[in-house]
Amino acid sequence: MKNALSFSLADFFFNDSPDVLSPPSDFEEWMNDPRTQECFGFFEQQLLSAPKSSTEILSNLEGKPKKVINLTSYNYLGLSFHPEVIQAAIEGLQKYGLGASGAPLLSGTLDLHAKFARMLADFKQKEDCILFSSGLAGNLGIMQGILRKGDLLVLDEKCHKSVIDGGTLSGARMQFFDHNDTEHLAQILDKNKDKRILVAVDGVYSMDGDLPNLPEIVKICDLFPDVRIYIDEAHSTLIFGANGRGVAEYFGLEDKIGISFGTLSKSFGGVGGFVCSNAKIIRYLKGYASSYSFSCASSPPVVAGLIKALEIATRDSTLRDKLWENTHYFKKNLQDLKLDLGNTESQVIPIIIGSSGELLFEMARDVQKKGLFLLPIDFPAVPATSRRFRISVSSQLTKDEIDKACNIIEDSIAKRLKKK
Ligand SMILES: Cc1ncc(COP(=O)(O)O)c(C=O)c1O
């Protein structure tokens, strides 16, 4: 294929094949091109041990196991392998077995699920909570459960794909406002006073690590008495706020949030999603969110482990403090290298490279060769003008690991950017 690297997944969405089980013919050609295969080689590299700060992967580039410093997992607080979490999960497994074996409304709700949902509602200071088997399922469920045709979902343009897909599923109209542009948001709300409206923002934007301008967003929404705010605190729960309740706590605006979403797959170290709000809408959601009512309840050992994870993360601030210490140290070192980190204010730190996909993948090969698990993020996941790497800082990283990582980043990324 001529210049395979000039194409991306954005080019093959529409399918001209008469058979729905055949991808577009040029997609096959693109995927089979050695240059595409080299780029896709970064995906689905297998981890051979827990997602710790130093771990081992089966390197697709080298075709063999490779020890790496891990900057790519969402295990921000290291809770997925915390000894107390593992012990709690083992006990949950022994008592309840592997699966819940039922939908939550029928036989799938165990005392564990009810206890955990109560703990989460109390933690988030909301009346009630509903659990989902994944974060994505939670976002699909909220939007599809509460929005109807004729409603309007107003989203920041950088909201996560699961919120957008939930909006599509709901049949509500969706309108995006420019990232953190509150004037644009105000214009949209002003033009739609006759609609039922939900405004959606992320707590931490997952590709950029920046925060919503919540104080201004709340100020605008307060001008419209029926407009409600939804926040996706996937990357901010257990990390932001004096008690780790998230970005809404950090800004002192929790009472202004109508519905608060979190995932259990990131700082909690497990898997699942949860939504906290007033008790009436949670009860309603249980009847109308298909990803809740038509899907098996989450695995009991996972829930048992998550209960312990929440206890550990909230009994004191040790892990959170360590994460912030590491984040500040890492960020300072990267700033000294004069790298473009966008507007990150969190443990999600992008290193923005620019528009060259070839340069991005050349750097990606080099960092991995030198022992860093740091993946390239390409268009269409991010704009074609700001291809990047994305660091997920963990509380588990040692200073020595951060120093080593920064040396590799300097050699493989910063020096190449200087030459450009
Ligand atoms: C902002 C945001 N919301 C929701 C999700 C979905 O969560 P999960 O991966 O737990 O399904 C993600 C996942 O990366 C995310 O970044």
| CATH number of the domain encompassing residue 271 | 3.40.640.10
Neighbours of 7 (CB within 10 A): 18
pLDDT digits (tens, 9 = 90+) for 82-137: 999 999 999 999 999 999 999 999 999 999 999 999 999 999 999 999 999 999 99
To the nearest whole number, what is the mean pLDDT of the chain? 97
Do residues 278 and 358 share a domain? no
202 CB near ligand 1 (under 6 Å):
yes
Asked, for residue 22, whether it belongs to a domain, the answer is no
What residues contact residue 201 under an 8 Å CB cut-off, 6+ apart?
155, 156, 159, 212, 214, 217, 229, 230, 231, 232
Alpha helices, DSSP H, located in 74-152: 83-96, 111-124, 135-146
Q: Which atom of ligand 1 is closest in space to residue 264's alpha carbon?
A: 10
Domain with residue 328: its CATH number is 3.90.1150.10
Q: Residue 347 in contact with residue 353, Cβ under 8 Å?
A: no
Neighbours of 380 (CB within 10 A): 11
pTM score of the predicted model: 0.96
Do residues 57 and 192 share a domain? no
Distance 266 CA to ligand 1 centre (A): 8
Residue 373 to residues 5, 54, 392, Cα–Cα distance (Å): 22, 9, 11
d(CA 35, CA 5): 7
List residues bridging with 373 in a β-sheet.
70
232 CB near ligand 1 (under 6 Å):
yes
Do residues 192 and 119 share a domain? yes
pLDDT digits (tens, 9 = 90+) for 248-264: 999 999 999 999 999 99
Out of 285, 300, 315, a domain closes at 315
162 CB near ligand 1 (under 6 Å):
yes
Asked, for residue 76, whether it belongs to a domain, the answer is no
Q: What is the pLDDT of residue 185?
A: 98
What residues make up the domain containing 329?
34-70+318-419
Do residues 99 and 247 share a domain? yes
Do residues 151 and 208 share a domain? yes
Out of 269, 294, 315, a domain closes at 315
What strand order describes the sheet that includes 348-354? 348-354, 387-392, 376-377
pLDDT digits (tens, 9 = 90+) for 128-179: 999 999 999 999 999 999 999 999 999 999 999 999 999 999 999 999 999 9
Does residue 420 surpass a pLDDT of 80?
A: no
Q: What is the pLDDT of residue 25?
A: 87
Q: Which atom of ligand 1 is closest in space to residue 206's alpha carbon?
A: 16
